[in-house]
Amino acid sequence: MKILRKLTIFFLVLALTGTLTACSEKNGINDTLNEFEYSARNMNIDAMLNCIDPMISDPVHDVVSVYHLVTRETIEDTVRKLIKEVFERDFEPSEFLTGMSFEEREIKITGKKGIVRCRVVVEIKGETFGREVRVLMHKVRDRWYIAGVEEFYDD
C-alpha cells in the first residue's frame, strides 16, 4: 500500500513538473514575440535582430557594423532614407510602422523547436494589414528566437 502511494505521488510530481516546464517554454516564446512586437513598434532594429535566430541575425549585425564604419550612418538613418526614397516623403520610422502584434497565438513545442500559429497584424501609415502565419521558433542556449515566418491558408 505504501509503495502504491509513493508511486502515485512520484507520478503526480512528474506530471506537474512536465506541465510547469511546458508553461515555462511557452512563456519564453511569448516573451520573444512580445519583445519583437515592441521593438518593431519603436523601429529599434538592433532589438528586432536580437529576437531572431543568431544564425540569421549575426551576419546581418556584421554587415550593419561594416556599413556603419564605412558610412558613419546608423541602421535607423538608413531606414529613414529608404522610407523617404520609396514614399517620396520624409517619415520618422515610428510614423511609418505604427503598430504590430501577434494575435491568437497557438504554440506547439517539440524539443528545441516551436511553431506559433497566429495572426500578424501590422499597421503601416494608418492602414492595417493582417496575415495568418506560422512563426518558426528555435531555442538556443535557453532562449527562444524567431527562426522564420511562413504564411499559410486554411483549406
Strand partners, 62: none
Q: Are 60 and 68 in contact (CB under 8 A)?
A: no
Q: Map residue 52 onto helix, strand or coil.
A: strand
Q: How many domains does the chain have?
A: 1
- Residue 19's domain comprises 2-151
- Among 40, 2, 39, 36, which residue's Cα sits nearest to residue 146? 36
The CATH number assigned to the domain holding 141 equals 3.10.450.100
Residues 129-151, mean pLDDT to the nearest whole number: 93
Q: Are 45 and 73 in contact (CB under 8 A)?
A: no
Element (H, E) at 71: helix 54-71
pLDDT tens for residues 13-49?
A: 444 444 434 457 789 999 999 999 988 888 788 888 8
pLDDT tens for residues 53-82?
A: 999 888 887 877 787 788 888 777 776 776
